[in-house]
Structure 1
Amino acid sequence: MKSISATITLLFLSFLTYGQQSALLNELKNKYEPYYQATHIKMGILLKQNDHFLATRLNFDNDRNTVFNIGSATKTFTAILILQEVERGTLKLSDSIGKFLSPIQNISGSLSVEQLLRHETGLAETVGNQEWDAYHIPTDSILRADVLQNVKPQNKKQIGHFVYTNTNYILLGQILEKINDQSYFDLLKNRIFTPCGLKNTYPYVSKSITNLVHPTDELNEQDQYQGINYKFFADYAFAAGSIASNLEDMALFYEHLYKKQTLISQKSLLQMTNFKNGKYGLGLQKLTIDETEYWGHGGNNYGYAFRNFYNPQTGDMILYFINRFRVPMKNSLNKDLKAILNHQSIPKFRTYKTKEFKDFIGEYVLDGLNIKFSIFEKENFIYFQMQHLKVPLVSYEPNVLLDVSSGIKFMKSSENPNQLIWFQNRKKLMAKKTLLNID
């Protein structure tokens, strides 16, 4: 009887804890949803602790099958395929890429596979610096060959130093195809998707995918679904950022990678997570939230952002996506999600009327740096904008506005009504209003 009673007590406590976390997740939804709703952002969140999942959606129906582009999180998949080749004996991390690929302009054949994996090649970026984006492709002639023809000269001073470059993983995809005489996309399906039982994961984004969340551009907040061209993801982003998936599939994938050894051996996982006193391993990053270490690899692409955090000590997971290139309020969001997993309450933003900060609104320039930015009001929210970066400002205390993504805090100068004080990383800068607000 004592054993039965103890089991019932544990089940009750587990249910109680799960209910508390669900309530906290609902508080988080209420905290962020008004800000994301004002800028047409759709977000999906999935938390995993022990065998429990907690999920919520901001600004759209709670459909767990919603698919999105995982962006550069694709690099983890590519690194796994490379490590599988190492385990098969078909390549070594020390092998030069010239052993597998024909000469490519501005790409040294002496670079090693491991240098590609660690972004230590000094190669120039070829994806992400073009003058057009995924939804404004000038022609339909995008081919992978075109991508590699546009690589700028290598910076040899950067060899051996971490400089993140998509070009590295595009080349790794090419190597995988050369070794296997098979497409990278078929390798993904046969050696990762199927063994992990991924049901809503696709090698690249296309309009044919059911339940694909519509990408939205940064500046105008407009739906870009009709502009999707699969060639951008398949031929351009390729092994650096092509994959589409949903949160549950991604959680299952990480479970197989980190805990079940379905894909690679424990030895290979240790290689992936050897960050060499830095923050980048082999297709994985060392991430931190409030000094707690996580493993993962974020992804940003035109109209999509994805974040994933795996705690190697506890097995806890934090995963979320939005239909935008950047994640507004991400630092605050990350801390709050971690707090929910730790059964801690999350702080609320102050409720304020925009007239409280009427004198903050205007165009500014930072003294001594000539950096221009603006603070403006839209639909009863106040925003900070610098070039294409636009984020909502919140308040935790009277007469103070905060960008919880970057940590910038704005206060009114007591000495000059046309100046703002910009606080960031313990530094204090003055911003002078250049265009006065006129009623």
Structure 2
Amino acid sequence: MIRHQLVVFVALATLAGRSAAAQPDLVTRIDAIVEAPIKAGTIAGASVAVMKGGKTLVSKGYGLADLELNVPTPPGATYEIGSVTKQFTAAAILLLKEQGALSLDDEITTFLPDYPTQGHRITLRRLLNHTSGIMGYTEMREFGDFSKLKRPRQDLVALFAAQPFTFAPGEEQIYSNSGFFLLGLVIEKVSGMPYETFVQQRLFDRVGMPNSYYCSERTVRRNHAHGYDTAKGVLVHKGYVDHTWPYAAGSLCSNAEDLAAWNRALHGGKLLSPASYTEMTTPGVLNDGTTVRYGMGIGLRDIGGRPAIAHGGGINGFQAESQYYPDDDLIIVVLQNTAGPVNPRDLARQIADVVLPPPPDRSRPFTGDASAYAGTFTGRGRRGATTVTIAASGRGLTLTNTADAAGPPETLIYRGGETFAFKDTLVVFEKQDGKAVRLRLDIGSGYNILARAPASGQ
């Protein structure tokens, strides 16, 4: 096994060198994208893997893995990957389904009989696509202190299970780490082994990911990058979190090369059966028949006008992005050892723009009455109540979200019908008597239904 992995590593390294030599301009442009925030001091370091059609275009580290000792990011540096973990958890559930050990439509109480469902029917499927309505523990004020403790996992379950459901299962989609925490417990109950052992044996070892493992706040790992947070524009040591808690929602560590191999195996039909892969990459469906842009542990995005199967991750000191563009067989992995203003999704999108030809322009001219959409809309969101303000100027519309009040208003691009977009977000209006009365905010990992707020004075 070790000899096989060494052969694979040497082959990939040789291929990477040939690709870089053959396309120096492409590599230089990718280097410039990643090095810009490092030179600006907004991230300490990063590792990037770019593969197209099975050929490695870039596989390298940038910046520093340790700021205090001025240690450059080594080849194969490992990082905490946060919520990129979720696709591994989803794949584990699907493998157990293939064995006949469970069904995606099984209720959670089949495996965790003491879980208080508060009268709701919660299936594994609802946990996998964030439509269960269970409150996310990372959004709970109590979790701040709890995250630093070493306690039984059941204590955290008791903490979030006591909270009222955010919505009835299937009514909306709000990202919930609690759902994936519960899925980890299901994997352990059904397989009879710890989550980290199942993932190591059934996923990492099978795919050939020798530098991937369950993270630890104590274990010393060779080539593991140190993580940094951002405070008042300055990089600081990452905040402490005990890895009992991110668990099946976000406690895996990996490097860019291993995640590229994971993408090739997952999307190349080498891990799951065709039926399971289809399940994983099929959009979830709400009770009213609306499809969401999320499968099982993985997003079904429109990135820069291109369809992509992707997911990001953020955890104390680290951010990650893993993207697969099926139309172009392109894999982009960006890992950075800094949590802060620079999002690896944006870096990955810029890299895609360098590697791929321009996508088709799907915008359309808007000739309607923009004022019919203007107003304030409120509803539920991941971090509580969400308020969105739509402003009209001539035939143009802008959106301001109270969750991102510090940022400038987003200009909406018309997509046809009652659908507009900005970046990777879709904004779908519902009208009554010629006036927008509801707004559906589809961010890919969340689908929130907001109602028009009464005008002031009404």
**TM-score > 0.5 by shorter chain:** yes
For the 8 Å contact 1:120–1:158, the answer to whether it is kept is yes
Residue number in structure 2 paired with 1:424: 410
- Following superposition, the deviation at residue 343 of structure 1 comes to 7.0
Q: Work out the CA distance in 2 between the residues paired with 1:15 and 1:209.
A: 29
**TM-aligned CA distance change 1:139 to 1:83, over 3 Å:** closer
- Following superposition, the deviation at residue 74 of structure 1 comes to 0.7
For the 8 Å contact 2:213–2:252, the answer to whether it is kept is yes
**TM-aligned CA distance change 1:153 to 1:44, over 3 Å:** same
Residue number in structure 2 paired with 1:33: 38
SS at match of 1:122: coil
**TM-aligned CA distance change 1:224 to 1:49, over 3 Å:** same
**TM-aligned CA distance change 1:44 to 1:327, over 3 Å:** farther
Matches within 5 A, 1:192-231: 192-207=203-218, 208-219=220-231, 221-224=234-237, 228=240
Residue type matched to 1:45 in 2? V
Q: Work out the CA distance in 2 between the residues paired with 1:15 and 1:323.
A: 24
What do residues 270-296 of structure 1 show as CA deviations (whole Å, max 9, x unaligned)? Answer: 111101432110111012222101102
Residue type matched to 1:246 in 2? N
Out of 93, 98, 101, the residue aligned to residue 112 of structure 2 is: 101
Total equivalences in the alignment: 336
Residue number in structure 1 paired with 2:426: none
Out of 54, 58, 70, the residue aligned to residue 58 of structure 2 is: 54
Q: Work out the CA distance in 1 between the residues paired with 2:82 and 2:281.
A: 20
Runs (5+) with no aligned partner, structure 2:
1-17, 65-71, 285-290, 359-374, 377-402, 414-458
Matches within 5 A, 1:100-139: 100-105=111-116, 110-131=121-142, 133=144
**TM-aligned CA distance change 1:86 to 1:308, over 3 Å:** same
Residue type matched to 1:59 in 2? G
TM-score by length of 1: 0.69
For the 8 Å contact 2:38–2:45, the answer to whether it is kept is no
Residue type matched to 2:197 in 1? D
**TM-aligned CA distance change 1:424 to 1:297, over 3 Å:** closer
Out of 167, 175, 186, the residue aligned to residue 197 of structure 2 is: 186
Identity of aligned residues (%): 22
Out of 43, 47, 68, the residue aligned to residue 44 of structure 1 is: 47
**TM-aligned CA distance change 1:52 to 1:300, over 3 Å:** same
Residue type matched to 1:305 in 2? Q
SS at match of 2:338: coil
Residue number in structure 2 paired with 1:269: 277
For the 8 Å contact 1:48–1:316, the answer to whether it is kept is yes
Matched, 1:311 2:325: yes
Residue number in structure 1 paired with 2:351: 337
- Following superposition, the deviation at residue 159 of structure 1 comes to 3.5
SS at match of 1:116: helix
Q: Work out the CA distance in 1 between the residues paired with 2:212 and 2:19.
A: 31
Larger radius of gyration: 1
- Following superposition, the deviation at residue 30 of structure 1 comes to 4.8
**TM-aligned CA distance change 1:28 to 1:343, over 3 Å:** farther
Residue number in structure 2 paired with 1:434: none
Q: Work out the CA distance in 2 between the residues paired with 1:63 and 1:107.
A: 50
Residue number in structure 2 paired with 1:300: 314
SS at match of 1:218: strand
Matches within 5 A, 1:341-360: 341-342=355-356
Matched, 1:144 2:153: yes
Q: Work out the CA distance in 2 between the residues paired with 1:139 and 1:298.
A: 23
Matches within 5 A, 1:64-103: 64-103=75-114
Runs (5+) with no aligned partner, structure 1:
1-12, 345-367, 370-405, 411-421, 428-439
**TM-aligned CA distance change 1:299 to 1:254, over 3 Å:** same
- Following superposition, the deviation at residue 67 of structure 1 comes to 0.9
**TM-aligned CA distance change 1:166 to 1:45, over 3 Å:** same
Deviates most, 214-223 or 13-22? 13-22
SS at match of 1:75: helix
Residue number in structure 1 paired with 2:295: 281
Residue type matched to 2:275 in 1? K
Question: Greater share of strand residues, 1 or 2?
Answer: 2
What is the Cα-based RMSD across aligned positions, in Å? 3.1
- Following superposition, the deviation at residue 95 of structure 1 comes to 0.8
Residue type matched to 1:211 in 2? N
Matched, 1:245 2:267: no
- Following superposition, the deviation at residue 252 of structure 1 comes to 0.7
Residue type matched to 1:27 in 2? A
TM-score by length of 2: 0.66
For the 8 Å contact 2:229–2:340, the answer to whether it is kept is no
Q: Work out the CA distance in 1 between the residues paired with 2:206 and 2:332.
A: 23
- Following superposition, the deviation at residue 17 of structure 1 comes to 5.1
Residue type matched to 2:150 in 1? S
SS at match of 1:188: helix
Q: Work out the CA distance in 1 between the residues paired with 2:151 and 2:209.
A: 29
**TM-aligned CA distance change 1:140 to 1:250, over 3 Å:** same
Residue type matched to 1:129 in 2? M
Q: Work out the CA distance in 1 between the residues paired with 2:127 and 2:109.
A: 12
For the 8 Å contact 1:214–1:223, the answer to whether it is kept is no
What do residues 352-378 of structure 1 show as CA deviations (whole Å, max 9, x unaligned)? Answer: xxxxxxxxxxxxxxxx99xxxxxxxxx
Residue number in structure 2 paired with 1:159: 170
Residue type matched to 2:47 in 1? G
- Following superposition, the deviation at residue 93 of structure 1 comes to 0.9
For the 8 Å contact 1:86–1:93, the answer to whether it is kept is yes
Residue number in structure 2 paired with 1:364: none
- Following superposition, the deviation at residue 253 of structure 1 comes to 1.1
SS at match of 1:299: strand
Q: Work out the CA distance in 2 between the residues paired with 1:34 and 1:17.
A: 27
For the 8 Å contact 1:142–1:236, the answer to whether it is kept is no
**TM-aligned CA distance change 1:48 to 1:242, over 3 Å:** same
